[in-house]
Amino acid sequence: MIKIEGLSKSFKDNVVLEDVSFEIEKGDVVALIGPSGTGKSTLLRCINQLERPEKGTITFDDVEFSLSSLKKTKDRLNLVRRTAMVFQQFNLFSRKTALENVTEALIHVKKIEKKEAEKIAREKLDKVGMGDRLYHYPKHLSGGQQQRVAIARALALNPELLMMDEPTSALDPELVYEVLDTIRLIAKEGNTLLLASHEMDFVKKVATKVIFLEKGHIVEMGTAEQIFEAPQNYRTKEFLAKNNMLVGAEYSI
Amino acid sequence: MNIFDLHTVRIDFWECLNYLPVTIKLAIEAELLSLLVGLIIAVIQMKKVKVLNKLCVVYNSFMRGTPILIQLYVTYYGIPIALKYINYYYGTNYEINGIDKVFFAILALGLNTASFNSVTIRASLESVDRGQIEAAKSVGMTDLQALFRITIPEALEVAIPTLGNSFIGLIKGTSLAFTCAVVEVTAQAKIIAGRNYRYFESYVAISIIYWATTLILELILFLIKKKIHIPDVVSGKEKRVAA
Ligand SMILES: Nc1ncnc2c1ncn2[C@@H]1O[C@H](COP(=O)(O)OP(=O)(O)OP(=O)(O)O)[C@@H](O)[C@H]1O
Ligand SMILES: [Mg+2]
């Protein structure tokens, strides 16, 4: 189980996250939803240490890490290496092929031998449907293909927590589904996911747990059913209504 | 007596060519110094390090605002004076004659080029997409790994053409090293001409040497650029895999 406790983060005097706590069970698909500018990206970035919060801890089973004061590089790397991140803008290494994008960290971070690393990379790229694009550079791939390589890159690290920050919102509409299908696939395989998303239909179908975040606070959290079928807080209702999710209509994707 | 003696040109050419290694060694050493100092200046300016940042601005302005020839003279005459003062005030006993003359030339040329290279280095580092650096950190690389494996290779593609040109400029700049009593290609041409009064011939001879050197460097630069450019077409390997 992964526990995040008391996470607070401000930029100067703009309080972005305030005392955020929640738990993730192994194999959970946790979705962060909420209005724009509410702190979803910041939350993921704090866990990944791309931002340094003022307060907060994360616990993996029984190993606790401070998110705010990991002074030793070793401890910070130890935390970061338990997680992996898929970014909105893909952020593939532009000078490396799809295969090298995946093997890079396997070889240089996990110190896996090149042959073995390539085997793992091919396997993951196959899984995301990119097995026939191993030697393509990012600039030769469509946005959806780049994002699938990014997912393979994250997956290959075998992270205890795989985070995704709006993985489809930089994509042309016709490319969204191939990426959502890929995420659905890896969710089914028992990976533990924490995902910020505006794709409500997708969240409703795939998430095991939904967290509604607003202005840096958790307003409501529960199973996808609880949040979408029977939201308790009126702010949650309002948000869902705005996103056309309160009418109870079925959407197919 | 011939008005223009091709034979003398040929002799001078081969004699001066012997000094090309001196010229190239001088240029390479000055370039390395300029890259190191340029990188330091670039980082100071990017991180806006307090007092040092201001100093760099003054430094750059001085290096651009004065002729390189004068900078060489200032170095050549200034360092011995500085040493004397140091010896006087601190009771040390540094021997000015113990310093190789080439050192002055490397210092002056390197520090001058550093100022120009710092701008190139800074611009190229700043051009690197932050997302890739974040991705590098997110897969667990250390800061140094991210710098050397992702940031610098990415920045190099932007920086190489400009740095290459500045190196070619440096090769030509070494022709002023005679001011520091260094015998390289130009100094040797002067020496020969001083012997036989065939100034024109010896300068024609070394013009050819410099020109040829520059052409070769430009070719090397072109090959490097091609090598580091990400291919525009998909690798042939893919087809073999697919087949
Ligand atoms: N580097 C930064 N410096 C200053 N303020 C920042 C920074 N990053 C984010 N913020 C602020 O933090 C707040 C939360 O931003 P964040 O990107 O986490 O929101 P979000 O929920 O991911 O929004 P979106 O749905 O639009 O992606 C915003 O008000 C934003 O302006
Ligand atoms: Mg965001």
Does residue B99 or residue A162 have the better pLDDT? A162
The pLDDT value given to residue A247: 59
CB atoms under 10 Å from CB of A248, counted, come to 7
Structural domains in chain B (count): 1
Q: Which residue's CA is the closest to the ligand 1 atom numbered 29?
A: A37
- With bands split at pLDDT 50, 70 and 90, how would you rate the model's confidence at A251? very low
Nearest to B132 among A77, A85, A93 (CB): A93
CATH code at B152? 1.10.3720.10
Tell me whether residue B240 is in a domain: no
What's the CA-to-centroid distance between A198 and ligand 1, angstroms? 15
The ipTM value here is: 0.91
Residues A196/A203, Cβ–Cβ less than 8 Å? no
Condensed to tens digits (0 to 9), the pLDDT of residues B121-180 reads 999 999 999 999 999 999 999 999 999 999 999 999 999 999 999 999 999 999 999 888
Q: Is the pLDDT of residue B198 over 70?
A: yes
Tell me whether residue B236 is in a domain: no
Quickly list H helices, chain B.
6-17, 20-46, 50-65, 68-90, 101-126, 130-138, 143-145, 152-173, 185-196, 199-228, 236-242
Q: Is the pLDDT of residue B238 over 90?
A: no
Please provide the average confidence, as pLDDT, over all residues in chain A: 92
Residues A73/A253, Cβ–Cβ less than 8 Å? no
Q: Where are the beta strands (DSSP E) in A1-41?
A: 2-11, 14-24, 29-33
Mapped onto helix, strand or coil, the DSSP state of residue B92 is: coil
Tell me whether residue B107 is in a domain: yes
| Section A53-62 average pLDDT | 93
Phi, psi of A58 (to 5 degrees): -130, 135
Tell me whether residue B64 is in a domain: yes
Residues lining ligand 2 (ion), CB within 5 A? Answer: A 41
What's the CA-to-centroid distance between A37 and ligand 1, angstroms? 5
pTM of this structure: 0.84
Tell me whether residue B235 is in a domain: no
Tell me whether residue B48 is in a domain: yes
Per the listing, tokens 């390090």 go with B49
Does residue A248 or residue A174 have the better pLDDT? A174
For the record, the structure tokens of A171 come out as: 């994509």
Closest ligand 1 atom, residue A12 Cα: 4
From chain A, pick out residues whose CB is under 8 angstroms from the CB of B134: 50, 87, 91
Tell me whether residue B243 is in a domain: no
| Section A31-55 average pLDDT | 95
Closest residue in A to B233 (Cα–Cα) = A140
Q: Is the pLDDT of residue A250 over 60?
A: no
Tell me whether residue B62 is in a domain: yes
The secondary element (H helix, E strand) that includes residue A82 is none
| β-sheet bridge partners, residue A8 | A55
- With bands split at pLDDT 50, 70 and 90, how would you rate the model's confidence at B210? very high
The pLDDT value given to residue B175: 94
- With bands split at pLDDT 50, 70 and 90, how would you rate the model's confidence at B64? very high
Per the listing, tokens 């895999």 go with B241
Condensed to tens digits (0 to 9), the pLDDT of residues B161-174 reads 999 999 999 999 99
Question: In which domain, by residue range, is B44 found?
Answer: 6-227
